[in-house]
Amino acid sequence: MSNDTSSTPEIPETASSGDVAWVLASTALVWVMIPGVGYFYSGMARSKNALSLIFLSFVSAAVVSFQWWLWGFSLTFGPSPNKFIGNLDYAFFRNVNNLPSNDDTNGQKITASSTLPVIAFALYQCMFAAITPALAIGAAAERGRILPTIVFIFIWTTIVYDVIACWTWNVNGWSSVLGGLDFAGGTPVHIASGAAALAYSLALGKRNGHGTEEFKPHNISNTAIGTALLWFGWFGFNGGSELAANGRAALACVVTNLAASVGGITWCLVDFRLERKLSVIGFCSGAVSGLVAITPGSGFVGAPAAVVFGICAGIFCNLAVKLKHLLDFDDALDVFAVHCVGGFVGNILTGVFAQKSVISADGTDLPGGWIEGNWIQVPYQLAGSVAGIAYSFVITYLLLIIMNKIPGLSIRSTEEDETAGLDISEIGELAYHHIEKLITANNDDDKNKENVHKIDSNV
């Protein structure tokens, strides 16, 4: 592969215009998911913190896009003799040109695709890297300072996401070599973000009033809009991971839609047995949990299995929400319950239901799961899942503790700022104009009380 970046590379003869078009369209679909996360989280927070969560989702896309160009893609997919992290051969997108992704001029194929230019693959994978920290920071909602969060996103993507993605998807990564199956990000995206969310919530501590005040979602319509954007974009998230416009990609889209549908209905029914109400928030959470669970298996399982994925995700993720009450931690938006638990459930079920007939649809030769007598597959899935949880949680917690000791990077907002809301204290803008009027009125009341107190004192 030439090191000359000044010349314009030509598209190789093996490139497929259909495959390139599908991957680029999928890239756009996954990008839409990032503001979708912001709206999903915004609706479940209180109105005085609504804009900060939408803002952070956009910031995640911007910061990680730069990090991915700088060195993230290279650390994830560059030559990795240690099976843990890549090198810097592709830093600054150096050598990332229009050669096919399976070119091995540098001694290592990037993917198995022979019809996709490296640059298209790099851009597509950038979206996965960008959405992952956007998912994680939901646990810090309503009390995490924004500037330190931006610094956290850059560092965390480098030392956590890139590492886990490398061992999962790099052809030399230890989990990939071992035989772990993860089609679209059960471990690098969902388990990593969910475990990081748990670490973030513990490092930050609980919100003021936690346990005594009721933190109700302020705008369920925003959450529904966010769910729609996520569901819509997930067709590119899972279907695009085939890196080709073919039948296996179509089946990945089918199982994605089915698992989301069953997950949403299941969560609603689990809640209905207690509340005797059909909850919109419950359906949205269940749909997302189904999407999370099917992610690692979307290119490995058939439609009947997708129903099982949706049911299990709806039940186990719903029950996992109760953990924050039992263990008394403040995961503000249930990121751990939906993404870490959902990703874990999906990884294990992939080891059970993976089918050779699905995998081999594009000529890939991999063993199936337990239903086809491959009994070692679930232990492989378990190894990758547990390693992902442990690594993400420990490194995230240590990173936040270190940041908290650096002047200017303390991660927790002050009590006054938290009371006022991060929108006004950290951004200086509000999602809703009537909040500003309310704050002004409250400030005027405080001033009036002070004036009355001064008059009484003088008298």
pTM: 0.91
Domain count, the chain: 1
Give the span between the Cα atoms of 398 and 238, in whole angstroms.
Answer: 32
Q: Do the Cβ atoms of 139 and 331 come closer than 8 Å?
A: yes
Tell me the two tokens of residue 312: 């299990």
Q: List CB contacts of 52: < 8 A, sequence separation 6 or more.
A: 146, 422, 423, 426, 427
Whether 240 maps to a domain, the answer reads yes
- Cα gap 219→45, rounded to integer Å: 8
**Residue 195 maps to a domain:** yes
Confidence (pLDDT) at 450: 47
Q: Is residue 440 in some structural domain? A: no
Residue 78 near residue 71, CB atoms below 8 Å:
no
283 contacts 228 by C-beta, under 8 angstroms: no
Q: Is residue 6 part of a domain?
A: no
**Is position 98 within any domain?**
yes
> CA 322, CA 345: separation in Å to the nearest integer?
17
pLDDT of residue 445: 55
In terms of Cα–Cα distance, which of 148, 166, 181, 171 is closest to 72? 166
Total residues found in the chain within this entry: 459
What amino acid occupies position 115? T
Residue 452 lies in a domain: no
- Residue 141 three-state SS: coil
Domain that holds residue 255: 17-415
Angle formed by the axes of helices 17-44 and 220-239, nearest 10°: 160
The domain that holds 70 is classified in CATH as 1.10.3430.10
Tokens 């991957």 correspond to 23
Mind listing the pLDDT tens digit of every residue in the chain (459 residues)?
A: 334 444 444 555 567 889 999 999 999 999 999 999 999 999 999 999 999 999 999 999 999 999 999 999 999 999 888 899 999 999 999 888 777 777 776 767 888 788 889 999 999 999 999 999 999 999 889 999 999 999 999 999 999 999 999 999 999 999 999 999 999 999 999 999 999 999 999 999 999 888 778 788 999 999 999 999 999 999 999 999 999 999 999 999 999 999 999 999 999 999 988 778 889 999 999 999 999 999 999 999 999 999 999 999 999 999 999 998 898 888 989 999 999 999 999 999 999 999 999 999 888 888 899 999 999 999 999 999 999 999 999 999 999 999 999 999 999 999 999 999 999 999 999 988 765 555 555 555 554 444 434 433 333
Residue type, 218: H
Bridge partners of 210?
A: 213
Residue 414, strand partner residues: none
In a domain, 443, yes or no: no
Element (H, E) at 190: none
- CB-based contacts of 15: which residues, under 8 Å, 6+ apart? 98, 100, 115, 116, 117
Per DSSP (E only), the strands in 329-446 are none
Q: Is residue 444 part of a domain?
A: no
Plot region of 179 (φ>0 → left; ψ -120 to 50 → alpha; else → beta) = left
In the prediction, which pLDDT does 161 show? 98
Asked whether 229 and 222 are in contact (CB, 8 A), the reply is no
Q: For residue 330, give the nearest of 56, 146, 141, 148 by alpha carbon.
A: 141
Please state, in angstroms and rounded to a whole number, the distance separating the CA atoms of residues 173 and 83: 4
